[in-house]
Each structure stands twice: as C-alpha cells, then as structure tokens.
Structure 1
Amino acid sequence: MTAPGASLSRYAGLLGAVLLAVAGYLGGALPDAPLGVTPASIWRTPDGPATLTCWLIGTVLLVGAWWSLREGAPSTRWAYVTAGLWALPLLVAPPLGSRDVYSYACQGWTYAHGVDPYTVGVAAAGCPWLDTVAPIWRDTPAPYGPVFVLLAALAVGLGGGLTGTLVSLRIIAVAGLLLAALCVPGLARAAGLPTRRAVWLLLACPLVGVHLVGGAHNDAVMLGLLLCGLLIVVRRPGRPAALLLAGALLGLAVTVKATAVVVVPFAALAAVHGRHTVRALLRDGGWLAGGLLAALLVTSALSGLGFGWVGGLTRSGDSEQWTSPPTAVGLVVDYAGAFAGRDPQAVPVVRAVALLLLAIVLVVLWLRAWRDRRAWDGPAPARARVALHGAGPALAATVVLSPVFHPWYATWPLALLALTAARTAWFVLPAGAATFLALPDGTNLARFTKAPGAVAMTALLLFLLLRVWQNGLNRSSHRRFDAQDRARTWL
C-alpha cells in the first residue's frame, strides 16, 4: 500500500504538470509568439497574468513533489507510473521553456535541402520557419553532431510542415527518454543502489519533463544512447563484441552532443574485466574506443558532413549569462573595471581559465577512479560503481565550468549522479532551482538579472570555496592530532 504522503506528492506533481501545460497553451513558445519579450511585457498581455501564475504555481508543485521523495519513491513501478503521469500533460503541450526546437527544425530543413548546416546559419540557408528561431541562433552553424542533424532532417521529412516537424522532434526526444528509462534499473543494480530512487530522481525530475519532453531537447537522445552504452559496459566487461557495441553507442551519443565524450574515459575503466592493470585497460578500453571511433567515422561519412560540427561548438559561448559561474566571475570583474574607468574584457579570459581548470579536474577525477578501481577487491556491482563514480562529478564539473549554462544542462550529471551518489540533496537542490530559470515562452530570466545574478553567483562561489578550504584545514588538523596520539601511544 502506498503511503498517503507519496500519493499526495504524485497528484500534487500531476496538478503542477497540468498547470504548466495550460501555461504553455496560454503563452508558451508558440510559432507566432513575439520574440525578445520581457517578464513585464508578458504580464501586460491579455493572458499574461494567467500564464505566469500557472507557470509559477505549476513549477512550485512539480519541484516540491519531486523533492519530497528525493530519497526514493515507494517502489520502482510507482516511480515509473508517476513519472509517466507527469509527462502526459507536457507531452501534448506546445514547446515549453525554450525555442531551441525551432532551431532543430531549421537545421534539419537546411540539411534536407542540400545545404551544409555546419557552414551557414539557418538564415542564410533560407529556412521558411526562420521567424520562429531565436535571433541569436539564426546566423550560427549547427553545434550538434551528424547523428542529430540526420534525425532533425528525418523529422522534417516525416512532418512535412512546421507542426509535423515539431511533433516528430518531440517523439524522437521521448524515444531517447524511453531508452534511458529502460537502462536506469540495470545501471542502478550494477551500482548497488535502489532502483526506485534512481528512476525517481532522473525520470520524475521537473527539468526532464519541462525541457526534455516539453522542450524536445536533443539532450534526451544523448542521455538515452549514453546510458545504454554504459549498461552494456557494466554488464559485459572484457567482452570485445559487447564493448564494440557499447563504444558505438557512446560514439552516437557524442555525435548528438559532444558533452558525452566526458564519460568515455570512465566507461573505459568499467570495461575492464578482472584485475585492473594498464595492459587490461588498453586491451578492453581499446575495444570500447574502437567502437566509438567507428561510430564517429561512419556517421560523419554517411551524412557527408565530416567533422564540420566541431567548429560549430565554438559558437555556443556567444551568449553571456550569469548562470555560468566562469561567465559570472568575468562579468563581476568587468563591472568592477567599469567602475574604475577601465574595460578589462574579463569574460573570455575567465572562461579560458575555467576550461583549463576543467581539464585538470577531469584528469584528477579519472586518476582517482583508476586508483580506487585498482584497489577495490569487492563484488562486481561495487566494482562498477567504483569505476563510474567519477563520471557524474565529471559531468557536473563540465556543467559548472562551461562558458554557458542552460537549465536542461543539469540533466547530464543528474542522470549519472542518480545512479551513483550516496547523498542526493547536493545535486537535487540545484536541479530543482534551475527549473525556475525559464518562462514558458523560452524567456530566460537570467537575461534580466544580469548584474545582481553575476554578483550573487560570484558570492556563492566564494562561500563554497571558503567552506572547502575550512574543511581541508579541519581534515588536516584531525590527521595531525591522530598522528600525535599514535606517537604518544608508541612512546
């Protein structure tokens, strides 16, 4: 029998999802919705008060219901059913929280009409739906890999017009989520954690419902392929055929969104069967790398696009928002410089330093995972957890130190932390907070809180760094006192 509190959470979240869908119909990212609006201008429209009220109350209900069961739903089946119920209203709603799906549609149209989306923007290609695309992305090349460009072109072919294309893109996103949903229990069992908690944290997350279902973001496809590849790795370590298949799936994930490559070195650790040695890592990790490389080469060749998509990644930082910690720090330095009569142009410098720091962090996390994996002599599920434990923090570091942050980016680390992290609040709280950053029509609230947001984010970073430093000092003091006690005992 389900506890009354769990039932209350289920139906409170369902009511929240319905209110979000209503807000979408009243003022979502509809094709004819005006661009460049502000929260104040939305409020002044005839449906503005109802739109914002439904959106705010719905978001509070959905996030609150998810948070209340962060330690796990009553059962795995209950978690699946509830996540499905919450997704239903969002599945039939207009695009929510972002206009990126229109960019996908135009990029697919561009490729379907014989134009390379990695060399020209959708405006130059002549996309007939250009007016629906956010102005900042009209002249930028596609930053996604060839697999997603092919999927977007398929959506255009199946959909015919804009509405059909949007429906097809949402179906593709939901298919990616269904693939992820199939893989979560197996990965959770391999990691030795409750499946009811892992399923709940990922699939019932409001970011998943609002942005991956409602917004039809391609992150859903990336996560589905990524988790499927990881599941094969942890179930069939040391087997060449399985590792080739797993590597191919990971490669397909990379050719949807390049961020997936961060997980590959940790997957190589999980691929080793038996004793962990450099030779075993090169042998089993080599099969994995071979499958990944084959997927990259084959998809690039079959699409006829090559690796032009790599260049498009450099344009993702055109947007400057305080939700990216490095960008926030750079903005604060620029504000301080302007106050002193100077123009330091600190944002690109801080972003470059952050990327260098990210590279160092990723190496350190991998080396720690390698050390722990070599030292572990426990059962196979625990070995898989040790090998994959660094992948979640690695994706979290990638999100935190990247030049740009959008709310749906938080689903990347969430997918793995839900499977491996012992404590939940430290990543569930930011994921819940990120749900409040966007309005139904895709208006990003960070655009209208640039200065105060940058100052607040910088202050938060300083506070966290101070806490880490204090914890380090405390651990150092404990180690010194323990050493002194041992010395006294010996004397």
Structure 2
Amino acid sequence: MPRPAVVRYGGLAGSLALAAAAWLGGATDPWQPTITPGTIFAGDNGVLLPLAWLAGTGLLIAAWVAGVRSAPTARWAYVTAVLWMLPLLAFLPLGSYDAYSYACQGWQQSAGLDPYGGGVDVLGCPWADAVAPTWRDAPAPYGPLFLVLAGVAAQTGSLTVTLAGLRVIALLGIALIAVALPTLARRGGVPPGRAVWLVLACPLVPIHLVSGAHNDALMVGLVAAGLALAIRANPAGSAASAGFAASADSATSAGRGAGAVADSGETIRATGRRADLAGWAAGLLLGLAIAVKATALVVVPFALLLMIERYPQFRGASPGPVDSREVSSAQRRKFGPRPWWLGPVIRVVAGALVGLAAASLVSGRGFGWVTALSGSGKSVQWTSPPTAVGMAIGLFGPDAVPVTRVLGIVALAFVLVVLWWKARDNNPLRYAGYALAATVLLAPVFHPWYALWPLAILAATLHTHLNWLVVPCAVVSALCLPDGYNLALAVKTQGAVAMTVFLVWIVVHEAKIRSAGRRRADHVADRLSGPDA
C-alpha cells in the first residue's frame, strides 16, 4: 500500500501536469476543434501537450485509486483534495466548452433577454464564437437559479471575469458537498474519510467541476446538503434521540424531581422545533437544486422517506427514566392526531416548491426552462446505453435512437418507482444514490461529469463493491481531451456495438443468477418437505 505522502503529492503532480495541458491547449476562445487523436498522432499539437495530458490524467487517476484504501482521516482527504484543485483554478477550462455556453446564457440573462427563447445564433452573445456549434441554436436547458447566478457572473461584460465567476459558483457547490458528506457518511455507516476521498478527490472533480466549471457541482452540492438536512429533520429520530439525551441528563441529576421532567420535556420540544426547521430547509435546498438542473427532482421522494422513516430506537424503545406522560404529550403534539408523517412531508414539499418558485420569480423567466430541456438530447453518443442500442440497431436498419431513448425514459420511470418502493424498508439514502445512478444510465445523453451525481451519495452509503464506483469514474475521467474532444467520438461504431453487447451480457448474466437462486430455493423446499424433515 502506498504511503499517504506518495498518494498526495503524486496526485498533485498530476494536477500540475493537467494545468500545463490547460495552458497549452485547454478550451479556448474562439472554439476550434484542434485537438483530436488524429492531430495528436500527426504531431500537430507538439509533444508537450499530449504528454502533459496523459501524465496528468494518469497520475491523478492512479493516486485517487491508491488512496481509496489509504486515506487516513477526513481532514487528510479534505486537504489533499483541495491541493489537487488549486493548480487548475487559473487556467483555461479543461475537457469541455460548456463554460462558454454558460457565459453566453448568463450574458443574455443580464441583458434582459430570455435564454429559454433561443440559442446564441438567435439572441446573440459577444462570446458566441467560443460556444460549440452543437449548442449554438439550443436554448438554455438549465433552471432559473443557475441563470440568475450566471447572469451575475456575466455583468462585467468580461469573458475572463465571467469564467472566474462560474468557477466560484462551482466551488460553492463543491463546498456544500464537503460540508454534507460527514452527515451522509454517518447515516450510511461509512467512514467519513473514505467518503470524502471517494467524492472530492475523484479526478472528475478537479478536471470537470473546478476546471470545467460545470453547474453539476452546484446541483450535486444542493442535493447533498438537502439530504443531510432531511436526515437531521427526521422527527422520530429527533424525538428518540432527545429522549435518550434527556434520560442521560436526568440520570446525572437524580433528585431534581419535577424540574428534571420539565427540562427533559423542553429538550424534546426544542429538538422537535429544530427538526421542523431542518425539514423546511431540506425542502428549500432540494427545490433550489431542481432550479439548477431538473435531474435533482428524482431525489425528492427519497428525501421524504429519510424524514418519515421510523428509526429503530423509536420503535417501542423507551426514551429512558423521564416522565412518560411528558414524553407522550410531546409526541402527541408532534405527531397527532393527524398521521405523524404528514407534517414532515408537507414541509419538504412546500419548501421545495418555495425554492423553485422563488428562483423562477427572481429570474423573471417563469418555467420556460422545462420546455427547453428537450434540446439537451442533441448530442448522440454511445456512452448513453439507450442511445448506444439505437446506434447499434441503426447499423443494420433504420435510425432507432429516438425510439430507444423513449424506451430508456419509460424504463427509468419504472425503475425509479421500484427503487422508491424498496427504499421504504431499506436505506432511503442509498436508494437515492441508486436512483441517480439509474438516471445517469438510462438518460438519452451521458457526459463524464454525470458520474458524480450518484457518486456523491453512494460513496457515503456503500460498504462493499466499491469497484462499481471507482472503475467507471476512473475510465470516464480520461474520456475528454484538454480542449473538449470526447474520445468516444473516435470509436462511434465500435463503442455502440460494445455497449450493446455489454448490456445483453448483463441481462443474460442477471437472468442466470436469478434462475440459479430459484433452483436453490426449490431444492431446499424439497428437502424440508421430505419424510425425514
């Protein structure tokens, strides 16, 4: 196992090499697709640029993978992750031109134009040449909160200042993730240091969230913070923990009589008030997350379960040697006579609606962004499984991508319902991560930074099978060249076929496992029903 210092400074060397790659050939203004596998092998980009990108990406991925089992503390993980982010703050964006699209949408918002009404080819933008041609006619697919923040960043009229402002917004999202992770990890029973390392030190964070300034950072940060508050807002858990705390206080203050009972009752009531406030705040943050990207909506049903699940210590457990009449009275005021879970549900849903409505009102754009979401599917790449299947079918017949994408959305709706139903009797936080993973896998479009959506939750809940998190994130971290060219474009046909074959293998493999499980169950049942049973 490598020493922590080797992991930290090996990754830092990788980050410095990527900073050099960003300086030499990052996404620049105006947009020019100059760096591709062909230009690299032809030597058109020189030697230093491809070497810096290859060495930087390799070192960063290797250090992250090695650190999964060697990060000693959460503090060490925080400091190391920050060190890896710092070198990329001062250079051109890496891996994508999306920051320039954000800048133009922010400029349109600050100029009083409606970014949902058209792309830069219709509404104009002083930096239109920097926007990738694929997105020049596309309206903004992002929520009103992000438009407001991007508009603030673009008010100076300077592209450099606007990009700096967009990076500040991304850093704010990363900070929210950093603050929320310990709470999520404690709820998931995962060492906080490991969760922090898996998320914040993942190469996708410095490459795409910090350097690329993607608004996914803010969405994921608001989702993580909202779920952390939902955990704190669970009224059953709050009442139980308050009762146990009160019992400990009363045990150390025996002889105080009625005063101790009154103090314990007030502790329960104060805890309940804090839970109510946390519930409102959780809903508000989740609503703001939806106002950045609509994807955050899939998490809300699981946040409701986090708030209303009955913790084991509350099910019939006595809160301790405090006056049972006081505890029962507090619980009745808290939970009855209406269903005890109704209040928490109302607070989360109302808070989310308030956050979304407030962002829409402040932006002045209403809900026009909902209709603009359809434009986000213009990118056709095999990295999206439904799109890959459609591309593979198209090799032997008509274009099936629109059909397979619709089928993917239908399948996603079904999977989300099944996951929510299972989460009622399991860990809602983990199933929220599964829901985000299903959204990534079944959506019409996949970009490498989308892998961070489920990672931020699953890293705090999974105890085993970490390879399902580490391997995909490591692979997609190396998918984009410095100026934004996606290597998946170089192997469109091969990638579509490989992805389709892989999906078929997964289905067949899962069917075999289920069939073997049923045969074992039948065999056991036959043995138990025999004459010697």
For residue 435 of structure 2, the aligned residue among 355, 376, 394 is: 394
**8 Å Cα contact 2:287/2:351 also seen in 1:** yes
Provide the rounded CA distance (Å) in 2 between the counterparts of 1:167 and 1:236: 36
Kept in 2, the 8 Å contact 1:26–1:47? The answer is no
Measured in 2, the distance between the counterparts of 1:108 and 1:293 equals 24
1:357 counterpart residue number:
411
> What residue is the counterpart of 2:11 in the other structure?
13
Deviation at 1:177, TM superposition (A): 0.3
Aligned runs of 1:265-344 on 2, under 5 Å? 265-272=301-308, 274=310, 279-337=339-397, 344=398
Question: Could you tell me which of 11, 28, 31 is aligned with 1:30?
Answer: 28
Match in the other structure for 1:377: none
Counterpart Cα distance in 1 of 2:32 and 2:43: 11
- RMSD of aligned C-alpha atoms? 1.8
Larger mean Cα displacement after TM superposition, 28-37 or 419-428: 28-37
Aligned-pair CA distance for 1:42: 4.7
Residue 288 (structure 2) pairs with residue 252 (structure 1): yes
Cα deviation for residue 38 of structure 1 reads 3.0
Counterpart of 2:160 in structure 1 is 163
Instruction: Map 1:440-455; keep pairs closer than 5 Å.
Output: 440-455=482-497
Q: What runs of 5+ residues in structure 1 fail to find an aligned partner?
A: 338-343, 373-385
- SS of residue paired to 1:437: coil
Question: Is it true that 1:153 corresponds to 2:151 in the alignment?
Answer: yes
- Find 2:402's aligned residue among 324, 348, 359: 348
Whole-Å Cα distance in 1 between the matches of residues 341 and 518 of structure 2?
34
Question: Offset of 1:171 from its aligned partner?
Answer: 1.2
Q: Shift of residue 286 of structure 1?
A: 2.0
SS of 1:396's partner is helix
Q: What pairs up with 1:392-471 in 2 under 5 angstroms? A: 392-423=433-464, 424-471=466-513
User: Given that residues 62 and 206 in structure 1 are in contact (C-alpha distance below 8 angstroms), is that contact kept between their aligned partners in structure 2?
Assistant: yes
Counterpart Cα distance in 1 of 2:140 and 2:438: 24
Amino acid at match of 1:290: A
Deviation at 1:50, TM superposition (A): 1.8
Unaligned 5+ residue runs, structure 2? 236-274, 316-334
* Contact 1:334/1:346, CA 8 A, preserved across alignment: yes
SS at match of 1:419: coil
Give the CA deviation at 1:41. 2.6
For residue 170 of structure 2, the aligned residue among 170, 173, 189 is 173
Q: Distance in 2 between matches of 1:119 and 1:258?
A: 18
Superposed CA offset, 1:137-196 (max 9, x none): 111100000000000001012x43001110111111111101210111121112221001
What per-residue deviation string (whole Å, max 9, x for no partner) do you get for residues 399-431 of structure 1? 000000000000001000101112211121101
Larger CA deviation: 106-115 vs 43-52:
43-52
**Structure 1 partner of 2:135:** 137
Alignment partners' CA distance in 2, 1:477 and 1:370: 28
In structure 2, distance between residues paired with 1:228 and 1:200: 17
State the 1:345 CA deviation: 2.0
When structure 1 is superposed on structure 2, of 219-228 and 44-53 the one drifting more is 44-53
Q: Give the Cα–Cα distance (whole angstroms) in 2 for the partners of residues 152 and 335 of structure 1.
A: 41
Alpha-carbon separation, structure 1, partners of 2:38 and 2:76: 40
After TM superposition, give the deviation of residue 445 of structure 1 in Å: 1.2
Match in the other structure for 1:369? 423
Task: Give the conservation status (yes or no) of the 8 Å contact 1:29–1:99.
Answer: yes
Of 256, 276, 284, the match for 1:240: 276
Q: Which residue of 1 aligns with 2:75?
A: 77
Question: Quick one: structure 1 residues 421 and 4, their matched pair in 2 at CA, closer, same or farther if it must change by over 3 Å?
Answer: closer
1:129, 1:195 → 2: CA distance? Answer: 42
- Distance in 1 between the 2:41 and 2:172 partners? 35
Tell me the distance in 1 between the aligned counterparts of 2:37 and 2:31.
Answer: 14
Whether the aligned pair in 2 keeps the contact of 1:72 and 1:200 (CA below 8 Å) is: no
Distance in 1, matches of 2:531 and 2:453, equals 50
TM-superposed deviation, 1:10: 1.5
Conserved 8 A contact 1:72-1:196: no
- Greater mean deviation of Cα atoms: 90-99 or 399-408: 90-99
User: In the alignment, is the contact (CA less than 8 A) between 1:326 and 1:402 conserved in 2?
Assistant: yes
| Pair 336,241 (structure 1): closer, same or farther in 2 beyond 3 Å | same
Match of 1:199 in 2: 196
CA contact (8 A) 2:31 2:131 kept: no
Distance across 2 between alignment mates of 1:122 and 1:244: 38
Cα shift at 1:12: 1.4
Aligned to 2:267: none
Which amino acid in the other structure matches residue 75 of structure 1? Answer: T
- C-alpha deviation, 1:45, in angstroms: 6.0
2:299 alignment partner in structure 1 = 263
Displacement after TM superposition at 1:488 (Å): 3.3
Q: Given residue 212 of structure 1, which amino acid in structure 2 is its aligned partner?
A: L
Instruction: Decide which structure has the larger Cα Rg and report it.
Output: 2
In the TM superposition, 1:69-108 aligns within 5 A as: 69-71=67-69, 73-108=71-106
Task: Assess if the C-alpha contact under 8 Å between 1:392 and 1:417 holds in 2.
Answer: yes
* Count of residue pairs the alignment pairs up: 469
What is the match of residue 341 of structure 1? Answer: none
Residue 335 and residue 75 in structure 1: after superposition, are their counterparts in 2 closer, same or farther (change >3 A)? same
Share of identical aligned residues, percent? 49
- Whole-Å Cα distance in 2 between the matches of residues 234 and 444 of structure 1? 38
User: CA separation in 1, counterparts of 2:78 and 2:498?
Assistant: 37
Q: Is the 8 A contact 1:43 1:52 kept in 2?
A: no
Per-residue CA deviation, residues 384-412 of structure 1 (Å, 9 max, x unaligned), is xx121201111111000000000000000
